[in-house]
Amino acid sequence: MRRLIKIYDTTLRDGTQGEGVSFSMEDKVRLATRLDALGIHYIEGGWPGSNPKDLRFFRRMQDVALKQAKLAAFSMTRRAGGAAESDANMRALLDAGAPVATIVGKSWDFHVTEALATTLAENLAMIGETIAFLRPRMDEVIFDAEHFFDGFRANRDYALATLQAAEAAGAHWLILCDTNGGTLPAELVAMIQAVKKHVRAPLGIHVHNDAECAVANSLAAVAEGIGQVQGTFNGFGERCGNANLVSIIPSLILKMGLDCIPETNLRELRDVSRFASELANRKPWSSQPYVGDSAFAHKGGMHVSAVLKHPETYEHIKPEAVGNRRRVLVSELAGKSNILWKAREYGIDIDRDTPDSRRILDQLKMLEDQGFQFEGAEASFELLIERALGRHRAYFELEAYRVIVEEQNSSQEPVAEATVRVRVKGILEHTAASGNGPVNALDHALRKALEEFYPNLKTMQLLDYKVRILEESKGTAAKTRVLITSGDGEDTWSTVGVADNIIEASWQALVDSVEYKLRRDESARA
């Protein structure tokens, strides 16, 4: 039996500390469910004692049935001089309802005396009493030894004492943290070897990437017997980021022969990676190992000739193993497998060698060339397939729309108003509506025109709206991509639009969102 390594994802908490990374509450719910489906063991949802959004997320997740993952809530130890029973962070942690508590405590004496401004003995008491308080109240308690490797270098005995305090109080896991991210692999391995002589509790690793060693350090720790690896998707995180789980997971399975997520789920890795990037409104890293567009790209000459004969000549793994694909410009078949896999996911049965699959692929390539990306817009992709197959039915036809933004004086907010003329079931509807912005006004006007014919649209609402500039060098004339997330209380879905005009891109995404809702409800009734 292969050794099992538990994967602990902290994208929703530590990852959001990265510059430019922000998730709405609904984003966090969607990403958590995708991580669960992938087979992640622990999902750290946030710090419920630090902000209202994280607390709302945990309450929302109480209605979400996770299949594999355990939801973890993060917090610090009790405050210096206080009691765990009356600590506000402890109350928020219990109110969150997550089965796992992850407690961060100082293991570097310098941080204890300077940052916490307390004594070394009190810090040990804070660790022990916090974990002892939570131990009977939670399914699992994990101790994150913050700045452990820096602390070990500065005061070996005290750093070990913090681990021993957590272990004595009943911590299920002791996580060694390279919080500043400056430790190199050989030094990290030597310290782990020393730790194993003093504690018996299971060990985990949590490292940052400030010396570009986060993935290497995580894998080196596993080779030394570490049983849990913490990190984020795409390496999101503060400063230079956290250990990148997108690189760690396939390395554990394919390179080290260990178990973590189910190996069959690896083919979803690229999709989940890009899904996380889209929700974070960040452009995917094209050269990202394993899943990037360039990871298995070959351009001309000897490389292409060799790869077409034997792919292993220039590829360290099969790209399909992680959901990626080989990119060879002369190959007409590149990308077909992805289309067929997605079609099957949506219940659409098409054959590889039919004109249908070729037509879908051609349409996809044309749209991607225009700037469309469907990784985070599954609803638009499903509609694309339906249109390419000639199965799409328009629920309404646009005659015209107009959006006006008027600012009367600087002391008042601008007023947005939209008018829409659409033909629905042969009837021309002409409506107008206002909103707190042009897209909001357009959304209201379209819904107003349609709800009399399709009352189920009243349950639908726009949950999130993201804009990405695709051609930065063109300034205000740049093409834009709009990603809209909608929901109806039962499901959430995302749609995409691309155009030179941001209003037109928004209209495309709005129309897809409405049509997806109507099509899905109609299919459910059939």
- Phi, psi values for residue 8, rounded to 5°: -115, 115
Beta strands in 164-211 (DSSP E): 173-178, 203-207
pLDDT at 188 over 50: yes
pLDDT the model gives residue 82: 94
Per-residue pLDDT, averaged over 349-354, amounts to 64
Task: Band the pLDDT of 329: cuts 50, 70, 90.
Answer: very low
Distance CA 67, CA 308 (A): 40
Residue 456: CB atoms within 10 Å: 14
- Does pTM surpass 0.75? no
CA distances in angstroms from 448 to 421, 433, 512, listed in the order given = 11, 8, 16
pLDDT at 350: 66
Does the pLDDT value for residue 490 go beyond 70?
A: yes
Residue 349 pLDDT level (bands cut at 50, 70, 90) = low
| Percentage above 90 pLDDT, the chain | 68
The DSSP bridge partners found for residue 67 are none
Answer yes or no: is pLDDT of 454 > 90.
yes
Angle at 416 between CA 415 and CA 422, to 5 degrees: 150
pLDDT in tens, 195-224: 999 999 999 999 999 999 999 999 999 999
pLDDT category, 313, cuts 50, 70, 90?
confident
Neighbours of 499 (CB within 10 A): 18
Q: Tens digits of per-residue pLDDT, 21-57?
A: 999 999 999 999 999 999 999 999 999 988 888 999 9
Q: How confident is the model over 154-180, as a mean pLDDT? A: 98
pLDDT at 345 (0 to 100): 57
Q: State pLDDT tens for residues 125-141.
A: 999 999 999 999 999 99
Q: Kindly list the strands in the beta sheet with 415-424, ordered across the sheet, starting from the edge strand earlier in the chain.
A: 397-406, 415-424, 427-435
Which domains does the chain carry? 6-279 (3.20.20.70), 397-525 (3.30.160.270)
Whether the per-residue pLDDT at 311 is higher than 60: the answer is yes
Q: 69-112 pLDDT, tens per residue?
A: 999 999 999 999 999 999 999 999 999 999 999 999 999 999 99
What per-residue confidence (pLDDT) applies to 109?
96
Burial of 193 from C-beta contacts in 10 A (0-12 / 13-18 / 19+) = exposed
- pLDDT of residue 231 exceeding 60, the answer is yes
Write down the pLDDT at residue 331.
31
Query: Torsion angle, CA of 105/107/108/112, rounded to 10 degrees?
Result: 50
Of the listed ranges 262-266, 329-333, 368-372, the least confidently predicted one is 329-333
